[in-house]
Amino acid sequence: MCINPRNSQKPFIYVVLVFCIMVTFSVHAQVKPNLGTVNRMMNDAKTQMDKGNYESANVIFRQIIEGNYTIPQEMPYYFAETLYHLEQYDNSANFLKKYLEINRSGGDHFEAAKALENKLAEPLLAIRSCQLCDRKGYRYEPCSKCHGEKITEKSCQFCKSRGEVGCTTCMGSGLVTRRNVFNIIEYHECAKCSNTGRTICPVCEGTKQELITCMVCKGNGTQVSDQLCDHIGEINHTHEKIGN
């Protein structure tokens, strides 16, 4: 597209060519490595797929994505197929969608992509209707921090872990004042704190610990494991809930 076919404009062609080379060079300088490397990686991944080594293929595809290479046109299909075999159905569906978006019906693997889309429907439905796994199909397990209790203890901030606070009736003095009939101030023992000036912390009730929503599971009691779900059984809660 950069070459003018007419010989009468040689200087013009020369300038355009130099410009094209400069643009090509700067583009390649940004998108770091060259096409040969990606093609070699693609071939390696496909070889691994043919051998049924989908884990190895997965590793190579991830290197292509993370390596900031220009993604080959057919790559999302191969990656989707690999992820299907690794039972990473949600991820597989994402790459398949990408593939069909990029290539529409013009891709070399359009028919295969459509077939894979059909094969994915059932496992994706199973994931969506399962309460034991997240939407990617990974099994929930009891939260490692609260063991499914949804709350954790932390030192009481209100009393700074003292278990007691200054009495609000006598402002910590232990004494309350009253004016008698002669308008003279009388001092009396504070009934609320029995003259001590301190009362039991209303937040932790003297335990020095307060119960807060577990920050790890955000109060769900569960977290996602790295195990793919078989959609059978129930979440194994190892502890009774506090307060029951």
Q: Do the Cβ atoms of 209 and 153 come closer than 8 Å?
A: yes
**Closest CB to Zn ion among residues 96, 167:** 167
CA 80 – CA 45 distance, rounded (Å): 12
In this structure, are strands 209-213 and 151-155 parallel, antiparallel, or unpaired? antiparallel
Q: Among residues 203, 224, 228, 235, which is the contact residue for Zn ion, using CB under 5 A?
A: 203
| Candidate ranges 19-27, 94-102, 132-140, 179-187; the one touching Zn ion (CB under 5 A) | 132-140
Q: Among residues 158, 186, 212, 239, which is the contact residue for Zn ion, using CB under 5 A?
A: 158
CA distances from 56 to 61, 63, 74, 114, 244 (A): 9, 11, 18, 25, 49
| Candidate ranges 2-10, 40-48, 65-73, 207-215; the one touching Zn ion (CB under 5 A) | 207-215
CA 185 – CA 180 distance, rounded (Å): 6
Q: How far is the CB of 170 from Zn ion (least distance, A)?
A: 3
Q: Does 169 bind Zn ion (CB under 5 A)?
A: yes
Amino acid at 213: T
Q: How far is the CB of 28 from Zn ion (least distance, A)?
A: 45
Q: How far is the CB of 124 from Zn ion (least distance, A)?
A: 12
Q: Does 145 bind Zn ion (CB under 5 A)?
A: yes
Q: Among residues 45, 83, 96, 133, which is the contact residue for Zn ion, using CB under 5 A?
A: 133
Candidates 202, 207, 213; CA nearest to 158 is 202
CA 168 – CA 157 distance, rounded (Å): 18
Q: Among residues 216, 225, 228, 234, which is the contact residue for Zn ion, using CB under 5 A?
A: 216
Terminal-to-terminal C-alpha distance of the chain: 76
| Candidate ranges 14-22, 31-39, 65-73, 201-209; the one touching Zn ion (CB under 5 A) | 201-209
Q: How far is the CB of 1 from Zn ion (least distance, A)?
A: 52
Q: Do the Cβ atoms of 142 and 238 come closer than 8 Å?
A: yes
Which H or E run contains 46? helix 35-50
Q: Does 167 bind Zn ion (CB under 5 A)?
A: yes
Q: Does 17 bind Zn ion (CB under 5 A)?
A: no
Q: Does 128 bind Zn ion (CB under 5 A)?
A: no
Q: In this structure, what token pair is assigned to residue 178?
A: 């009253």
CA 194 – CA 189 distance, rounded (Å): 7
Contacting residues toward Zn ion, per CB under 5 A: 130, 132-133, 143, 145-146, 156, 158-159, 167, 169-170, 190, 192-193, 201, 203-204, 214, 216-217, 229, 231
